[in-house]
Amino acid sequence: MRIDRKSWRDPLLLGTTVPLTLLMIVFFLVPLAMTGILSFQTTKYYRLIWTWDLATWRDVFGKPFYWTIMLRTVAMSLVCVVLSLAIAMPVAYALATRLGSLQRHVTILITFAFLTDAVLKTFGWILVLDKNGVLNWGLSYLGFGPQALNLLFTPSATMIGMVYNLAVYPMFTIYLSLVRIDRDLQLAAYDAGASRLRTFFEVTLPLSKPGLYAGAVLVFVLSLGAFLEPKVMGGGNSPMASELIRQSFETRVNWPLGAALTLVLIVIGALSLAISALVAMRRRRVASPA
């Protein structure tokens, strides 16, 4: 869409763009700039010293400890994306095509779970995964012995919490893509002799990719900042980047380090968004070569 230069003097356009621009400056660019400035400062005896020094950045890029946690965070986020999509795709497909009259009720249940506070849901998993929780009680009833699984305060428990809290996002994005697919295309595939499985992989799945991409990006970005699940269900034994940032600000009182790690995490998230945007643009060009 091309914007005429004269339109910038339009009061209606100014009235809609100026407040949004001010909000972006005040609540995003200014805090981001302050975080960047803070990352170049130093601390001494738990006191912030205003100067310009690269010591914090040398620590961040030079010490393997920080990159180990960053890489763990990215790896956990990628695994969370895969598991969330694996759960969300069948649920969204059933919602869009199979549930019929139950579709509205299931949608309400999923929405209710989405709106429930994540703190309550996460702490609820402790009752399930604890040594004396519901899961071990069920396993012992089946003959596996008491405390057959010791999942709580492990990376697996963290992953369960992250997938549980985030899988609902791709459910909605994939569902919206599926309901927009022209039913005639699927019927044409059936008329051509394709089985249901082949129709799904050659018609339904390719056309639902926008929802898959959007859901994957949402889950990945939100996983990068996951704080509650590693703390509550992981017990802090395998900290992720958000926990390291919290400790830098609160426990160590090393604000420059926390600011630098925050910027690194923001850059990782921004790169993932940029890559997804490039993929979407490329797909659009392939779809409409003219």
pLDDT of residue 2: 53
> Secondary structure of 130-187 in the HEC alphabet?
CCCCHHHHHHHHCCCCCCCCCCCCCHHHHHHHHHHHHCHHHHHHHHHHHHCCCHHHHH
Residue 70 CA from chain centroid, whole number: 15
Q: What angle do CA 60, 63, 69 make, to 5 degrees?
A: 75
How far apart (Å, rounded) are the C-alpha atoms in residues 235 and 244?
Answer: 13
Q: What is the CA radius of gyration of the chain?
A: 24
Mean pLDDT computed over 245-254:
86
pLDDT tens digit sequence for 47-96? 888 888 888 999 898 999 999 999 999 999 999 999 999 999 998 988 88
Binned at pLDDT 50, 70 and 90, residue 105 comes out as: confident
Indicate whether 5 pLDDT > 60: no
Cα diameter, the chain: 78
Binned at pLDDT 50, 70 and 90, residue 229 comes out as: confident
For the chain, the domains span 59-287
Which of 246, 250, 203, 192 lies closest to 69 in space, CA to CA?
246
Q: What top-level class would CATH report for the domain 59-287?
A: mainly alpha
Residue type, 6: K
Q: Which residues contact 100 (CB under 8 A, 6 or more apart)?
A: none
CB count in 10 Å sphere of residue 180: 12
How far apart (Å, rounded) are the C-alpha atoms in residues 228 and 225?
Answer: 9
Q: Which residue has the tokens 């010293």?
A: 49
Average pLDDT, the chain: 85
CA distances from 26 to 22, 151, 262, 263, 288 (A): 6, 43, 18, 18, 39
Spatial contact of 170 and 161, defined as CB atoms under 8 Å apart: no
